[in-house]
Structure 1
Amino acid sequence: MNCIIWNTGGANNAEFKRHCKAMIEMHKPIILALLETRMGDHNKLAEDLGFSNKIQYPTVGTSRGLVIMWNDHNISINDINISPQGIHTTVHVSNPPSYWYFSAIYVSNHFQDKKVLWNQLTDLSDTINNDLQIAWLVGGDFNEILSSFEKFGRNNFNSTRASHFWDCINQSNLIDLGFRESKFT
């Protein structure tokens, strides 16, 4: 079972759609989450990519835009909470049967907004973690780093911001899965 979570940096152009269709054909995801689409409505995009259902949050000004897409034949998704920084859902898969939580995240660059999401994730985890049998997949662009070795560029590492992020991960009982390939992508 594959899920794709992609920070598109804009999804309303032919080149993106061509690359996305190729990725869908190769990986055959049951769920496609697109972040920072910069689109107010994702109806046509979902149709063009071959998905029958979606949960979306439109752009805020000229940025953001989140959408989770799927098809009905093997899965149903219900929204729990939708905000500018994330879409939180329950996922029911019919074959093989499973039930789990999914959060597609695109975190603001503003520290105060990040703290709001960190609190939201911690609160949501209290609900999810009450039943240890249910998994929770959280993925996306957190626009934050956990340690100085994840940093490249001229801005200094901010240990206070990293500490807030670590607290969120730990209090939410999340596990950082790390990365493959280039760590700066």
Structure 2
Amino acid sequence: MNAIIWNVRGIASVATRRRLKKLLQLHQVYLLVLLEPFILRQNFAYTRRYLRFDMGAKNESNKIWFFWNSGTNVTVIVDHPQFLHVRVEDPRLARAIYLTPVYASCDATIRRDLWAGLHHISHDMDDPWLVGGDFNVITHDGERTGHNTHNRGTIAFSDMMLDCGLEDAAYSETLESDFIDHSPLLLQWVSDDDLGPRPFRFLNVWTKHHDFLAFVSQK
């Protein structure tokens, strides 16, 4: 089952809509998340029909648009100005998953409310949970060249991931974007039976976290 998350930076452009429609067809996308649509709420239904989705939801700030078809059951659990937390059930999935598309504020102070919201969700999260989108912050200097990121909320972001039990899933495929600086991210779910034995994973980035040793000693 395939999904796309894309900070589209405006869906009003004819070229953007055509590009998106081709991506949906090429990759057989069943779930679509658009960030920063930059058009009014009343255009939501038109966009859904144009992209040939049956259902849709948007968060209260109108920064996150989420589309799916009638064969998929999506339940909106939390509607937040910086994220939309949903439960997804589909015959192509072995079990239900939770998906939390994020569009974070550029203001580090306002992002604190986002981190708190995700932390609250994590308390009762025992099922597969994917959190993704535009966080407007990075976890460490290696993710961006030519910039000092120590004052950009990186510690708060890393703290949130650690507290919520989230891991950086890394990636093997982002889709090319011809005209904006944000590339669409293609997500693919596969059956556990296709994966074979689960490998041991360790993320070196955690060793650089200021609470790493204290956290490990508590486990």
Q: If the TM-score is normalised by the length of the shorter chain, which range does it land in?
A: 0.7 to 0.9
Identity over aligned pairs, percent: 28
2:118, 2:164 within 8 Å by CA — same for their partners in 1?
yes
From 112, 120, 138, the counterpart of 1:115: 112
> Structure 1 residue 175 and structure 2 residue 167: aligned?
yes
Q: What amino acid does structure 2 have at the position aligned with 1:116?
A: D
Q: Which has the higher contact order (CA 8 A, sep 6+)?
A: 2
From 85, 88, 92, the counterpart of 1:91: 88
The CA distance in 2 between the partners of 1:95 and 1:152, in whole Å, is 39
Q: Hey, what does 1:146 align to over in structure 2?
A: 139
1:10, 1:37 within 8 Å by CA — same for their partners in 2?
yes
Deviations 1:140-168 (A, max 9, x none): 01111111121234x53225711110111
1:51, 1:71 within 8 Å by CA — same for their partners in 2?
yes
State the TM-score, normalized to the length of structure 2: 0.73
Question: Relative to structure 1, is the Cα distance of residues 160 and 48 closer, same or farther in structure 2, using a 3 angstrom cutoff?
Answer: closer
Specify every segment of 5 or more residues in structure 1 that has no aligned partner in the other structure, as ranges.
Answer: none
Q: Once superposed, what is the RMSD of the aligned Cα atoms?
A: 2.0
Larger fraction in strand: 1
2:32, 2:67 within 8 Å by CA — same for their partners in 1?
yes
Q: Hey, what does 1:50 align to over in structure 2?
A: 52
Partner secondary structure for residue 44 of structure 1: helix
2:108, 2:152 within 8 Å by CA — same for their partners in 1?
no
- Of structures 1 and 2, the larger Rg is shown by 2
> Structure 1 residue 136 and structure 2 residue 133: aligned?
no
Q: What amino acid does structure 2 have at the position aligned with 1:19?
A: R
Q: Hey, what does 2:67 align to over in structure 1?
A: 69
Q: Hey, what does 1:6 align to over in structure 2?
A: 6
Deviations 1:47-100 (A, max 9, x none): 000001001136x5xxx6211100012x11010111221111011112444211
From 108, 124, 149, the counterpart of 2:121: 124
Q: Hey, what does 1:19 align to over in structure 2?
A: 19
From 153, 159, 162, the counterpart of 2:154: 162
